[in-house]
Chains A and B, each alone.
Chain A
Amino acid sequence: MEHQVELTERGEFIYYLSHTDNLHSRPVWTFSTTWCCVAELLEDGFGETPCYHCVIAEVNDVQVVGFAMYYLTYDPWVGKQLYLEEFYVMAEYRGLGIGSEVLRYLSDLAMKLRCTGIMFVVAENNEPSMQFYKRRGAEDLSEGEGWRLFRFDKDSLVKMAAPSEE
């Protein structure tokens, strides 16, 4: 039995025509997580101003087995970037070239959108992923240039937003 791996574009509302010419779409909420509810994901990705876009890997016309979530960012030194926020292929579907195909798709898209690069973060203990990316030419900027990712959480922001006594 051969798996048919097909990529479907979501955020731009382009629907994939299957071999039998049936128009169909797979809602992205099959990937809803326990952290962000379906309604938020729906509004944030498919409302008036989408905060993100997704590309889906679909098998046998029915099952979504992988996805990449991305959005455009800006590096004032070199311009537009494609930021890869999430990238996942279900364990039982790895090693089939799906991940590579998704990256190839994103590279193509980045070129079309005139991006100068793709950026993303990887956990330092995720050796397989780091190797996957490095094999395809990715550079570890934390190691090479010493960049560290920082965050202000909501509490800190609320404190900062309060007017200071002067």
Chain B
Amino acid sequence: MAKFILRKAEPKDVSDILRLIKELAKFEEMEEQVKLTEKGYTVIAFAMYYFTYDPWIGKLLYLEDFYVMQQYRGLGIGSKILQVLSEVMKTRCSSMHFIVAENNTKSIEFYKHRGATDLSYEEGWRLFAINKMELVKMSGK
């Protein structure tokens, strides 16, 4: 089992985070949509999360990005990250939400294996977005 530690990100990690964000985007084949810019490493995985709110149940943990570099997969790192996040949840969060691309069968399996529910399938939720251009149109009225 490879030796690794998990720790909270610090300001000095920002360039590594961006590198991994881009790698993840490449994996999801949406690299050209990454608009935030920049660029020897010991950081090989990350999870980006924040707290959201569902007025029906309260505070939630939202998992925004979750990535382990290819050559470091299968070593239990992903599981360990999820374990740490589950611990974080003890601060009054009832649930963790995240989105997965429907063609990302490996990830879907990873999450379902650990008890995740596909809410889009079970409850019919669709994710919508209004982009900046449309917002400018609306706010200008």
Contacts and interface: CB of A to CB of B under 8 A. Distances in A.
A22 to B, nearest CB: 29
Contacts of A104: 138-139, 141
B36 to A, nearest CB: 6
- The interface centre, meaning the residue of A125, A146, A147, A149 with most chain B CB atoms within 10 A of its CB, is A149
B131 A137 contact: yes
A48 interface: no
Interface in A148-166: 148-161, 163-164, 166
B135 A119 contact: no
Q: Is the interface of B mostly helix, strand, loop or mixed?
A: mixed
- The interface centre, meaning the residue of A44, A138, A146 with most chain B CB atoms within 10 A of its CB, is A146
A123 to B, nearest CB: 5
B33 A110 contact: no
B54 A85 contact: yes
B128 interface: yes
A104 to B, nearest CB: 5
Interface in A93-120: 103-104, 107-108, 110-111, 115-120
Nearest to B96: A152
Nearest to A124: B124
Interface of B: 1, 17, 21, 25, 30, 33-36, 48, 50-59, 62, 64-65, 76, 79, 82-83, 86-87, 89-90, 94-103, 108, 111, 114-121, 123-139, 141
10 contacts: A52-B55, A73-B62, A76-B64, A77-B33, A77-B36, A85-B55, A120-B128, A133-B128, A150-B100, A151-B96
Interface of A: 33, 35-36, 40-41, 44, 51-52, 69, 71, 73-79, 83, 85-86, 103-104, 107-108, 110-111, 115-125, 130, 133, 136-143, 145-161, 163-164, 166
